[in-house]
Chains A and B, each alone.
Chain A
């Protein structure tokens, strides 16, 4: 019997959203919940006035990220599109050569995307710079401080200052690196890998750290607001690595929370508290408190299978949680006051 069966429940506080296609990403544009879908649409799910926008007509959205109050989407049509909370669509780029495989954006309005080996960074002023990675890029992320980008590719990751001619600063580790993230304090660079593990580097001295033991790929990574913890998917519990110390998680056991007989597919740390939202490949969503492992049920599919949770995000003050699944189910949790 799973602990979750007896957990307190927030299911009454969830409003259902009809997504209707694979949910690639979820974001809040201000207060407006937004879902980017595998059928090329973006749903702005403001309760009572839902808008469905053909952001990538006849194509699919492969990645999406929030920038200020807009959503940036990348498609298998090679286009990068900016969607405003009012439903406005602006084409940012159109790569003729292939898919937008990775995408990142941040509060100041800058954004970056990858198409094959080409990585482009676009500053808040709209200036675009490009660099060629050594192999196809699977993940991009902004370094928290300065205008600098981290890029995941085969045999390692690279850091890049788009505004200098310095080229790529290579962090080497053999294998295929998929997603990339940086700790909020900018001390650590972490990638997920093909071989069911995470790899980390201390930025200052490129010290390697290996986080392994996952039964599947860990494709969802989320930092606690203080940067002391990294929550990860890919196991039958949410695996949370400690990053407070100088050596990161080396020689330390990770925390586990939300253990169930189902694979964790998405994780999202609450923006203020040490609580992590955990989505599973059977469509469940739980909230887990790190300090005492207490659990709250957010969503449990009924008779109809809803597929794996594929998108999960909090709004900026942690009052709402938005989630979506591979089969096009989605929901909005409003936390009780």
Chain B
């Protein structure tokens, strides 16, 4: 079986700099051949041999799952591209500024043919340092794009003061503390920070996460879980706190993230039943979920990821001898029911 073709999804609100990033990726000397799927074919100069115009046709799957929308045009285009194997080794999908990333991501879960041939590598969101804070207030699309991101380019940092930059970074972190964040001007970032991230197969989540553990108190629920709900509410209006690194803390009223850890093994059957049931029930409000778990009597790490109601998981590499067997899950979503998720997860401990 040949390797799957990695797919990078570029999102970002209007004018944030998606096209700048795309052209930067394409013109760097990297020796890779890209198939680029853009939403406005021919309107902008893209220097690449294989550019395909898409039309963002979203449809609902007839599978009784209300949030299960997919991009029909992507299924069609990838099917066509597969007839030209060898012409390219990666795919980049650029979405419109107003796009919800969910249907794009779900396309790679739902369609069996697409899933067999290609795998979502990362969702990369370009954010405008000057305007993002405003957009987070008035544009739900902008908030979704931040919540879904594996990599965030906080761009146009030259147009804001250090205080404004700290503020917008704090607002991003309130929604999504787990994405890799780069502060850039003109999308100046090493291409390897954007491509081949493997963000969606979760191998990297443990490498990425520790940087944020000390920045976001949501992470250590296991020792003060009992009072967390009230605690979180207090934070909602304290908009100018600084921690010792100068990063502002915000609490987004609508979108939250939640990370839970069990210092040891979980019962595989209990966990899979619980997590599947939970996303079936609460899927519309859960944007992303991820986890790395130590199953009892299983030498390999179980890694899963999800978008809304869809989950995809597998046993991956073995736990290393010097590696502590811990089980950790992460949710990003709207009005997450923290107590319910915590109780459900903790009951899966082995």
Contacts and interface: CB of A to CB of B under 8 A. Distances in A.
A195 B62 contact: yes
Interface of B: 41, 52-53, 55, 57, 59, 61-63, 72-73, 75-77, 80, 82-85, 87, 111-113
B10 to A, nearest CB: 20
B53 A194 contact: no
B112 A24 contact: no
Contacts of A194: 59, 61, 72, 75, 111
Given A136-B76, A194-B75, A194-B111, A116 B84 contact: no
A306 interface: no
Contact of A138 (B55, B61, B76, B82): B76
A220 to B, nearest CB: 13
Given A38-B85, A39-B84, A61-B83, A136 B59 contact: no
Interface in A45-63: 60-62
A195 B85 contact: no
30 contacts: A22-B82, A22-B85, A38-B83, A38-B84, A39-B84, A60-B80, A60-B83, A60-B87, A62-B83, A76-B80, A76-B84, A97-B41, A98-B41, A99-B52, A99-B77, A101-B80, A116-B55, A135-B72, A136-B57, A136-B72, A136-B73, A136-B76, A154-B57, A174-B62, A175-B62, A194-B59, A194-B61, A194-B72, A194-B75, A216-B113
A192 interface: no
Contacts of A135: 57, 72
A97 B75 CA distance: 19
B80 A175 contact: no
A260 interface: no
B5 to A, nearest CB: 14
A60 B72 contact: no
A176 interface: yes
Which of A22, A194, A195 has the most chain B CB atoms inside 10 A of its CB?
Answer: A194
Contact of A22 (B57, B83, B112): B83
A94 B43 CA distance: 19
Interface of A: 22, 24, 38-39, 60-62, 76, 97-99, 101, 116, 135-136, 138, 154-155, 174-176, 194-195, 216-217, 326
A92 B85 CA distance: 26
Secondary structure at the A interface, as helix, strand, loop or mixed, is loop
A98 B83 contact: no
A171 B111 CA distance: 25
A136 B59 CA distance: 12
Contacts of B55: 116, 136
A141 to B, nearest CB: 17
A60 B112 contact: no
Contacts of A39: 84
Nearest to B58: A154
B50 to A, nearest CB: 9
B76 A101 contact: yes
A257 B73 CA distance: 34
A195 B57 contact: no
A300 to B, nearest CB: 19
Contacts of B52: 76, 98-99
Given A97-B53, A195-B61, A216-B112, A24 B72 contact: no
Contacts of B73: 136
B112 A217 contact: yes
A136 B84 CA distance: 21
A176 B62 CA distance: 9
A62 B76 CA distance: 11
A176 B72 contact: yes
B80 A217 contact: no
Which of A60, A135, A195 has the most chain B CB atoms inside 10 A of its CB?
Answer: A60
Contacts of B84: 22, 38-39, 60, 76
B209 to A, nearest CB: 36
